[in-house]
């Protein structure tokens, strides 16, 4: 994965997409093969040092009861208000500050119930970005998002990709068709690698996924 690129990992359910991110984070070690991060084999690095490279946003990343500020400061307690506002802007969430006169101190409700599903996901991305990771890992699920929220998620991913290396598991191809490269997984192995246009002709599995999502 080239530094500064956006790489998408796609494939049917059970192909191994989330497992691949878990291996990168060393939730467990590979039984064969090697994972290198900036030239270092991952088992040679202390877990804390390795994970310092990554910002990881899970598919169901939680939003906790409390305020917008509380949720953003979980991993970066020293962040300033200007930094909080800037990171919300980076993931297209600046508008939630104007919905309540309390701004950053507005309540989000139990489990983030006062936010939409798309807003909760982008809040989790903002929380990860505050830690300034070199590599952002997104296990991104847009299956439950409506069209406008899915488009906002795509714009957020595009925006954060401009400053760092992003690896995103894509459940909806529409959010990643402009990725620098797309890796197609099938039953734990790589079926094909290429751009959206290249894969439409080189990978029958990818073309099938795209057809089912009405992208061709």
Looking at residue 116, the DSSP 8-state letter turns out to be -
Instruction: Compute the C-alpha angle 92/68/88, nearest 5°.
Output: 20
Of 140, 163, 197, 198, which residue is the catalytic one? 140
Q: What is the residue whose two structure tokens read 């939730």? A: 27
User: Is 140 designated active site?
Assistant: yes
Note whether 17 and 24 are within 8 A (CB): no
Q: How many CB atoms lie within 10 A of CB 138?
A: 30
DSSP state string for 161-186: TTTSEEEEEESSGGGTTT-SEEEEEE
Q: Give the C-alpha separation, 95 to 92, whole Å.
A: 8
Nearest partner of 12 among 168, 165, 163, 185, judged by Cα = 185
**What positions carry a catalytic annotation?**
140
């Amino acid at each position: 994965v080239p530094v500064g690129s956006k790489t998408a990992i796609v494939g049917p359910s059970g192909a191994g997409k989330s497992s691949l991110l878990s291996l990168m984070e060393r939730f467990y070690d590979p039984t064969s093969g090697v994972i290198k991060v900036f030239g270092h084999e991952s088992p040679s690095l202390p877990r804390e040092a390795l994970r310092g490279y990554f910002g990881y946003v899970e598919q169901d990343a939680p939003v906790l009861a409390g305020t917008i500020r509380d949720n953003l400061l979980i991993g970066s307690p020293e962040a300033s208000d200007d930094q909080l506002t800037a990171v919300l802007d980076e993931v297209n969430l600046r508008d939630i500050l104007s919905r309540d006169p309390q701004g950053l101190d507005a309540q989000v409700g139990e489990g983030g119930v006062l936010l939409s599903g798309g807003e909760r996901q982008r809040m989790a991305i903002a929380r990860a970005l505050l830690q300034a990771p070199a590599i952002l890992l997104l296990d991104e699920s847009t299956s439950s998002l409506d069209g406008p929220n899915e488009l906002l998620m795509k714009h957020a991913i595009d925006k954060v990709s401009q400053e760092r290396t992003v690896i995103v598991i894509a459940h909806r191809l529409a959010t990643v068709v402009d990725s620098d490269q797309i890796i197609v997984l099938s039953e734990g192995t790589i079926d094909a690698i290429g751009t959206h246009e290249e894969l439409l002709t080189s990978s029958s599995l990818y073309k099938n996924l795209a057809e089912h999502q009405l992208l061709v």
